[in-house]
């Protein structure tokens, strides 16, 4: 298969052509805004195509570790236990993006239930760990999209 | 369905019926306004005989191309009520079409010559515009001072503040469960909103999209005109102040943050609300609380795209807005906690 130029390089080429060649030829204000939006989405795709599987697998492991560590500190972890079981018993056996995404979805449910249990019990240590996981997820999201500035506003 | 290429002709038909007083209206200088992400907006000039006037069209865009699904008829009824009430200055809403002439439900407003507050504060430093803080506080207080009894019956009135807050907090959870993918932050927010309720206050009219691009400053009078009422509802007045903080992270500068104490002091003076009710921690709380409506629409639009039910560049672009909103929620939750600890 062809791996060079890489997906990010091809996407960068499209993004740059839009800005350097297409944009100067466009007079319509609405179309100009559309092009700016396309460039922003392409920037996101450049990052995601390079890192997405790695980001998801790392976060799945971090969530599973946190759940195993915190479950014994929670007085009612039935819902959390069920989500952890769903995650661990259905792990993907391939690196296909769709398979990893399904694992990530199950891990996200674990994190959601961990957060709900932590706040319901006012468990400060668990809340702190949940916040750390959410901060890590946010850092990944920001790495994928960069700073969001609304285009075309007036 | 709205067909932009036909609008000039359709507007001529509409205005000939409702505005031209028996004459034939002509429409010129029709220019789409690019600022909004939800409605199709355009400004144009109409002429009938020796009479001419400038208008703004606000219409539902073609299906699948908006990040919001709101009701033009209800917005029309609301702006009519606001014009009758007179408490808030808005551009006069002149005509409503249910879609039978223009192809989609639409409102025609008189155009106000001027610029939005957003455009105004782009020039120079944000501190050059601190004189706008008092009128900004005044227009927010005037919105929250509208007699709720005068609003259209179709606008829901919550039974109580507690019930309203609890229901909205629960909605974060239910919206997440209906979404196309899991979003743990939404579930944590639902729990956090209940665990960190601020002091209650009287429920009022809430604009729902209170931000500088929606404040039009009349060039001739300097009056602040509030536009875009599609997200208006009855709720907690602090929602508007909280939403401002979120909106202006993606659309800097944040004028209120430039001198928050001055703004809050004026707002409290105009509304009579105490510092216990209106303070930086409650603003941070409502930055999170107030954004569910727009956040729901944003993720709803992206979910529709994921399901193959929607398309359009604006929807695709909104995928980049979601992390930004997540970041604002996390920061606001931390700010609220820090302020409460410092002032305990």
**Per-residue model confidence as pLDDT tens digits over B296-322:** 888 988 999 999 988 888 889 988 889
- Within 8 A of A134 by CB-CB distance, chain B residues are 184-185, 188, 330
* Smallest Cα distance from A58 to chain B, Å: 16
C-alpha distances in angstroms, B199 versus A102, A138, B37, B68?
42, 30, 34, 31
Question: ipTM score here?
Answer: 0.90
The pLDDT, as a whole number, for residue A19 is: 95
pLDDT higher than 70, residue B64: no
The token pair that represents B320 in the structure block: 């980049």
Residue with tokens 């001198």: B259
Beta bridge partners of residue B43, listed in sequence order: B31, B56
DSSP state, residue B101: T
Residue with tokens 């029309």: B76
| Contact map slice: A 50-109 vs B, CB within 8 A | 105, 108-109
Nearest to B326 among A122, A131, A138 (CB): A138
Nearest to A112 among B187, B321, B330 (CB): B187
Beta bridge partners of residue B234, listed in sequence order: B205
Residue B239 · residue B290 · CB < 8 Å: yes
Q: Mind listing the pLDDT tens digit for each residue in A18-40?
A: 999 999 999 998 899 999 999 99
Task: Kindly give the pairing relationship between strand B26-33 and strand B233-235.
Answer: unpaired
Contact A44 B319 (CB under 8 A): yes
- Within 8 A of B196 by CB-CB distance, chain A residues are none
The pLDDT, as a whole number, for residue B33 is: 84
pTM: predicted TM-score of the whole model, two decimal places: 0.83
Q: Which has the closest alpha carbon to A102: A53, A48, A68, A51?
A: A53
CA distance A116 to B182: 14
CA distance B183 to B185: 6
Does any CB of chain A come closer than 8 Å to the CB of residue B184? Answer: yes
Helix, strand, or coil here: B216?
Answer: strand
- The alpha-helical segments, DSSP class H, found in chain A are 7-17, 29-70, 78-88, 97-120, 124-145
Q: Which residues contact B141 (CB under 8 A, 6 or more apart)?
A: B267, B270, B271
Mean pLDDT across B79-87: 94
């Amino acid at each position: 298969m062809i791996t060079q130029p890489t997906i990010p390089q091809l996407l960068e080429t499209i993004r740059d052509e839009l800005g350097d060649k297409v944009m100067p030829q466009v007079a319509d204000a609405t179309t100009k805004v559309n092009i700016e939006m396309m460039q922003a989405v392409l920037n996101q795709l450049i990052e995601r195509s390079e890192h997405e599987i790695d980001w998801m697998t790392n976060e799945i492991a971090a969530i599973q570790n946190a759940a195993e560590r915190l479950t014994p500190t929670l007085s009612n972890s039935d819902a959390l236990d069920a989500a952890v079981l769903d995650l661990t018993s259905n792990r993907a056996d391939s690196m296909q993006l769709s398979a990893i995404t399904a694992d990530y979805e199950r891990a996200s449910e674990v994190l959601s239930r961990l957060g709900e249990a932590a706040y319901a019990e006012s468990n400060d240590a668990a809340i702190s760990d949940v916040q750390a996981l959410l901060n890590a997820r946010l850092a990944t999201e920001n790495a994928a999209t960069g700073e969001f500035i609304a285009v075309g506003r007036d | 369905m709205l067909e932009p290429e036909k609008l000039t002709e359709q507007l001529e038909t509409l205005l000939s019926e409702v505005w031209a007083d028996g004459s034939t209206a002509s429409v010129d200088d029709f220019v789409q306004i690019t600022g909004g992400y939800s409605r199709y907006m355009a400004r144009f000039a109409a002429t009938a005989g020796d009479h001419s006037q400038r208008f703004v069209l606000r219409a539902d865009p073609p299906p699948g191309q908006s990040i919001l699904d709101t009701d033009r008829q209800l917005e029309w009824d609301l702006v009519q009520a606001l014009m009758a009430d007179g408490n808030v200055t808005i551009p006069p809403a002149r005509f409503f079409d249910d879609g039978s002439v223009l192809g989609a439900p639409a409102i025609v407003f008189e155009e106000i010559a001027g610029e939005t507050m957003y455009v105004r504060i782009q020039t120079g430093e944000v501190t050059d515009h601190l004189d706008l803080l008092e009128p900004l506080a005044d227009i927010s207080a005037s919105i929250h001072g509208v007699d709720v009894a005068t609003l259209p019956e179709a606008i829901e009135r919550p039974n109580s503040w507690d019930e309203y807050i609890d229901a909205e907090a629960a909605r974060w959870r239910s919206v997440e469960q209906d979404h196309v993918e899991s979003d743990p932050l939404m579930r944590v927010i639902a729990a956090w909103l209940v665990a960190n309720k601020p002091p209650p206050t009287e429920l009022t009219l809430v604009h729902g999209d209170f931000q500088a691009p929606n404040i039009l400053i009349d060039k001739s009078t300097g009056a602040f005109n509030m536009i875009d009422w599609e997200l208006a509802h009855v709720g907690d007045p602090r929602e508007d102040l909280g939403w401002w903080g979120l909106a202006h992270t993606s659309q800097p500068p944040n004028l209120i943050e430039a001198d928050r104490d001055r703004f809050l002091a004026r707002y409290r003076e105009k509304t009579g609300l105490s510092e216990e009710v209106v303070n930086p921690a409650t603003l941070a709380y409502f930055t999170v609380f107030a954004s569910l409506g727009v956040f729901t629409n944003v993720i709803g639009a992206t979910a529709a795209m994921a399901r193959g039910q929607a398309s359009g560049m604006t929807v695709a672009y909104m995928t980049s807005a979601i992390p930004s909103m997540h970041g604002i929620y996390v920061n606001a939750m931390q700010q609220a906690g820090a302020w409460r600890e410092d002032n305990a």
